[in-house]
């Protein structure tokens, strides 16, 4: 299943890795009018107040004050099959080897623009630039690698634009971003769960503790950080051009790492009269329960650095006839900044990292978790056509290709994605001289994705004998609506 999550600022946002017009966890759902063309010509074509995100410079081309607000309904499915996994000591992990995850979520946005003068325009908007959410069944076979993954970003952006002359305009937007993230998984304690009651043979007594099979780790954190958007717009008559840069944003997510039901080894309680120690490396026996000892709960303040990538887009809108125009866009995204997930202690009295930082584990001081990513920069391309049927109705369609930023060797159960193709249709219906409504629908195709994931220490060296393998089939549909009002 995929689970909902809420954000402050009175907006409920949830996102799926396979669901949006996006590569990685970047979202494009900030404009329904642009979605109808698969975002081809975005920021070049003059449409409505959603240009505030698409290209801040283009605000100078809007007439009067404008408001645009909309919502995207995302429906996505992800099917995994032929899944298998191994514990740290190489034993087969039992559990669900196939399943289906379904997501139905609403992603809203809103923008307002106006003019200070004939040459200076301004606006403010709220939108979601990045997002990712997934959550597996608790009994899935790869639970030692991934359970819940959630990255949510909501941005507020004030913007200024200046019209240099009749052809050129420039714009600047400053975005204030609130980000929060959650990662969780079940913990594999050297195969203790898979060993089950067979461990009783090592102790010569019924000491098995089923709680080891319910050892769960979760880290969460949040932060506020600023970025910026720069835009250039050119109106050459029948040809309109746009160049837009969205900056990278660096977050330092701070929160808590929590883990339940961890074994208490003999080395940690040697000489303690409340425990029986068989061997230093084995779990001790609790005299209170007669079972293998466990810490029911540990907590440690921690931090996770996250950089959302920069992107640069070039778009063109070409008028062919009075009724027909064509659009094109090419976008570069700097995903190579996402090299790894590093969860590091931020606590003066550590507990979890005392074990995880050891040489046989992550082998780096203060480290609680580490996942190598090594994503690469990507390109996306889109082509669109717009038909101005009459003064009331405008029709759109578009085709987009998004390159996947994850190489085959680094695909993970948290983001099982591949290159994707989108086909979209859209329309604008003018209700009056002041009001219009945009509609858009998109369908995504993605090839089969296979993963073969393993564990690594913080130096990038493979550790343990653990692994997870699975095949994925992802599909998504987006239905969106937007209301526009000219004051």
CATH of the domain at 125: 2.40.160.60
Question: Is residue 222 a part of any domain in this protein?
Answer: yes
Mean pLDDT across the stretch 381-395? 96
Interatomic CA distance for residues 357 and 464, integer angstroms: 15
Q: Is the pLDDT of residue 277 over 90?
A: yes
Question: Is residue 424 a part of any domain in this protein?
Answer: yes
**Burial of 455 by CB count in 10 Å (0-12 exposed, 13-18 middle, 19+ buried)?**
buried
Domain assignment of residue 386, given as a range: 32-184+218-252+311-486
pLDDT score of 4? 34
Helix (H) or strand (E) holding 193: helix 192-195
Mean pLDDT across the stretch 328-341? 93
Q: Is the pLDDT of residue 16 over 70?
A: no
Decide: 251 and 303 in contact? Cβ < 8 Å: no
Q: Is the pLDDT of residue 22 over 90?
A: no
Q: Is the pLDDT of residue 105 over 80?
A: no
Higher pLDDT, 19 or 310: 310
CB atoms within 10 A of CB 312: 14
pLDDT score of 13? 30
Q: Is the pLDDT of residue 170 over 80?
A: yes
Interatomic CA distance for residues 253 and 218, integer angstroms: 14
Mean pLDDT across the stretch 191-202? 90
Q: Is the pLDDT of residue 394 over 50?
A: yes
pLDDT band at 359 (very low <50, low <70, confident <90, very high): very high
Interatomic CA distance for residues 479 and 73, integer angstroms: 5
pLDDT score of 97? 96
Question: Is residue 178 a part of any domain in this protein?
Answer: yes
CB atoms within 10 A of CB 145: 25
Decide: 352 and 257 in contact? Cβ < 8 Å: yes
pLDDT score of 316? 98
pLDDT digits (tens, 9 = 90+) for 433-444: 999 999 999 999
For residue 217, what are its two tokens?
Answer: 């780790």
Q: What sign does the CA torsion over 163, 164, 165, 171 have?
A: negative
Q: Is the pLDDT of residue 96 over 90?
A: yes
Q: Is the pLDDT of residue 23 over 80?
A: no
Question: Is residue 116 a part of any domain in this protein?
Answer: yes
CB atoms within 10 A of CB 206: 10
**Burial of 198 by CB count in 10 Å (0-12 exposed, 13-18 middle, 19+ buried)?**
exposed
Question: Is residue 229 a part of any domain in this protein?
Answer: yes
Specify the 3-state DSSP secondary structure of 212: helix
Interatomic CA distance for residues 77 and 477, integer angstroms: 9
pLDDT score of 24? 53
Provide the number of structural domains found in the chain.
Answer: 1
Nearest to 300 by CA among 389, 367, 245, 239: 367
Mean pLDDT across the stretch 133-145? 90
pLDDT score of 5? 33
* Phi/psi-derived region of residue 209, left when phi > 0, alpha when psi is between -120 and 50, beta in every other case: beta
Mean pLDDT across the stretch 348-361? 94
**pLDDT, the chain, mean:** 91
**Burial of 166 by CB count in 10 Å (0-12 exposed, 13-18 middle, 19+ buried)?**
exposed
SS (H, E, C) 100-162: EEEEEEEEEEEEEEEECCCCEEEEEEEEEEEEEEEECCCCECCCCCCCEEEEEEEEEEEEEEE
* Entry field: residues in the chain: 487
pLDDT score of 350? 95
For residue 441, what are its two tokens?
Answer: 């629908």
Q: Is the pLDDT of residue 230 over 80?
A: yes
First to last CA, the chain: 44
Beta strands at 285-286 and 216-235: parallel, antiparallel or unpaired: unpaired
Per DSSP, the chain holds a count of helices (H) and strands (E) of 5, 23
What pairs with residue 171 in β-bridges?
161, 231
Question: Is residue 365 a part of any domain in this protein?
Answer: yes
What are the b/e assignments for 399-424, b being 16+ CB within 10 Å?
bbebbbbbeeebbbbbbbbbbbebeb
Which are the contacts of 220, defined by CB distance < 8 A and separation ≥ 6? Answer: 180, 181, 182, 183, 255, 256
CB atoms within 10 A of CB 379: 12
Q: Is the pLDDT of residue 83 over 70?
A: yes
Question: How many whole angstroms from its chain centre is CA 265?
Answer: 37
Q: What is the pTM of this model?
A: 0.87
Question: Is residue 356 a part of any domain in this protein?
Answer: yes
Decide: 98 and 82 in contact? Cβ < 8 Å: yes
Q: Is the pLDDT of residue 17 over 80?
A: no
Nearest to 409 by CA among 467, 475, 337, 476: 467
pLDDT digits (tens, 9 = 90+) for 373-387: 999 999 999 999 999
Question: Is residue 246 a part of any domain in this protein?
Answer: yes
């Amino acid at each position: 299943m995929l689970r909902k999550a809420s954000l402050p600022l009175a907006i409920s946002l949830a996102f799926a890795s396979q669901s949006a017009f996006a590569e990685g966890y970047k979202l494009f759902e900030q404009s329904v009018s642009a979605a109808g063309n698969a975002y081809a010509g975005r920021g070049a074509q003059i449409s409505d107040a959603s240009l505030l995100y698409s290209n801040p410079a283009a605000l100078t081309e809007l007439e009067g004050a404008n408001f645009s607000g909309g919502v995207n309904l995302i429906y996505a499915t992800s099917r995994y099959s032929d899944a298998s996994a191994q514990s740290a000591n190489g034993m087969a992990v039992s559990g669900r080897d196939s399943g289906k995850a379904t997501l139905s979520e609403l992603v809203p946005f809103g923008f307002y623009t106006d003019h200070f003068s004939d040459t200076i325009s301004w606006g403010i908007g709220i939108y979601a630039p990045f997002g990712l959410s997934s959550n597996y069944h608790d009994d899935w076979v790869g639970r030692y690698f991934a359970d819940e993954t959630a990255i949510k970003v909501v941005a507020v952006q004030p913007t200024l634009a200046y019209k240099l002359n009749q052809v050129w305009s420039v714009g600047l937007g400053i975005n204030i971003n609130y980000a929060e993230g959650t990662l969780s998984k079940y913990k594999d304690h050297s195969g203790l769960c898979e060993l089950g009651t067979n461990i009783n043979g090592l102790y010569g007594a019924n000491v098995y503790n089923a709680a080891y099979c319910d050892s769960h780790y979760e880290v969460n954190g949040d932060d506020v950080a600023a970025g910026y958007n720069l835009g250039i717009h050119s109106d050459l008559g029948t040809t309109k051009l746009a160049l837009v840069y969205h900056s990278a944003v660096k977050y330092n997510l701070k929160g808590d790492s929590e883990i339940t039901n961890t074994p208490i080894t003999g080395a940690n309680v040697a000489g303690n009269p409340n425990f029986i120690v068989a061997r230093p490396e084995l779990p001790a026996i609790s005299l209170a329960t007669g079972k293998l000892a466990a810490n029911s709960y540990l907590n440690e303040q921690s931090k996770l650095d996250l950089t959302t990538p920069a992107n640069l887009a070039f778009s063109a809108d070409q008028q062919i006839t009075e009724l027909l125009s064509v659009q094109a866009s090419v976008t570069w995204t700097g995903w190579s900044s996402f090299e790894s997930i590093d969860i590091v202690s931020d606590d003066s009295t550590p507990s979890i990292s005392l074990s995880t930082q050891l040489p046989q584990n992550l082998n780096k001081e203060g480290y609680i978790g580490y996942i190598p990513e090594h994503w690469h920069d990507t390109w996306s391309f889109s082509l669109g056509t717009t038909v101005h049927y009459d003064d009331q109705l405008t029709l759109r369609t578009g085709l987009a290709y998004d390159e996947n930023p994850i190489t085959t060797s680094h695909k993970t159960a948290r983001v099982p994605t591949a290159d994707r193709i989108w086909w979209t249709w859209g329309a604008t219906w003018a209700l009056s001289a002041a009001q219009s409504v945009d509609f858009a629908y998109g369908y995504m195709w993605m090839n089969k994705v296979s993963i073969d994931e393993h564990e690594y220490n913080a130096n990038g060296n493979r550790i343990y004998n653990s692994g997870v393998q699975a095949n994925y089939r992802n599909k998504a549909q987006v239905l969106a609506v937007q209301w526009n009002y000219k004051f």
